[in-house]
């Protein structure tokens, strides 16, 4: 296997995430996800195709090959283990662990990865509730409905909070809406969701309700 750069890993990771639930990924969607020019994406996709890490057909999009998916899941495993280690052992705020892990995921050695996983108790989810791929390259990705779909009176446990926006994540943390917390839906309004958490009544703006997934 030729040298796989951190940029390549970022592309493969992005394709993996975009593939979920939609099949082939358009290069325009990949460019938007990675915030780079379409021409840059096309050049890298062609390079990954030559390395047999993606299957690419013009106008039909691209998908990961078995080899490409293995690298993508290994990169995601590194990222999510680092996030959890930073949060649990170093006390890094939840809204900051993603950016820090982005910097470190490409340089984590296999030995340090194993030691980190062991120190964390071989976890299956990261601090946001996202599944951590196994060392063997498998992942148990269960999808949960978001808070907007629950009627008043429904009770559940926060399984995951989206890490797409640090400001939103910071606000959820301030409100105590984090993975593992049990809540009861009190009301659904156009402005947001009224919930009870550990005896407290909290109103989440509608924009935040879609970032909270309930089991």
- CATH code (residue 177): 2.30.30.90
Who contacts 69 (Cβ-Cβ below 8 Å, separation ≥6)? Answer: 12, 16, 137
Residues 120 and 173 in one domain: no
Kindly state whether residue 1 falls inside one of the protein's structural domains: no
Residues 116 and 165 in one domain: no
- CATH code (residue 86): 1.10.60.10
Residues 43 and 80 in one domain: no
pLDDT exceeds cutoff 70 at 105? yes
For the chain, give the mean pLDDT. 93
Separation between Cα atoms, residue 211 and residue 169, nearest integer Å? 9
Kindly state whether residue 32 falls inside one of the protein's structural domains: yes
Task: Say whether pTM exceeds 0.85.
Answer: yes
Domain count, the chain: 3
Q: Smallest Cα–Cα separation from 182: which of 158, 165, 199?
A: 158
- pLDDT at site 164: 83
Domain extent for 88 = 74-141
């Amino acid at each position: 296997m030729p040298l796989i750069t951190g940029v390549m890993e970022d592309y493969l990771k992005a394709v993996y995430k975009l593939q979920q639930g939609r099949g082939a990924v358009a290069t325009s969607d990949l460019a938007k996800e990675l915030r780079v020019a379409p021409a840059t994406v096309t050049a890298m996709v062609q390079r990954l195709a030559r390395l047999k890490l993606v299957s690419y057909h013009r106008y039909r999009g691209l998908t990961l090959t078995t080899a490409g998916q293995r690298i993508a899941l290994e990169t995601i495993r590194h990222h999510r283990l680092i996030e959890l280690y930073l949060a649990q052992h170093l006390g890094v705020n939840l809204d900051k662990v993603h950016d820090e892990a982005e910097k470190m995921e490409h340089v984590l050695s296999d030995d340090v990865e194993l030691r980190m996983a062991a120190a964390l108790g071989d976890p299956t989810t990261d601090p946001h509730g996202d599944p951590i791929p196994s060392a063997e390259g498998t992942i148990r990705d269960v999808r949960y409905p978001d808070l907007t779909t629950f009627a008043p009176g429904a009770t559940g446990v926060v399984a995951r909070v989206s890490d797409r926006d640090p400001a939103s994540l910071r606000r959820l943390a301030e409100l105590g809406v984090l993975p593992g917390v049990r809540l009861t839906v009190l009301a659904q309004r156009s402005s947001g969701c009224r919930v009870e958490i550990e005896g407290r009544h909290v109103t989440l703006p509608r924009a935040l309700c879609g970032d909270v997934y309930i089991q």
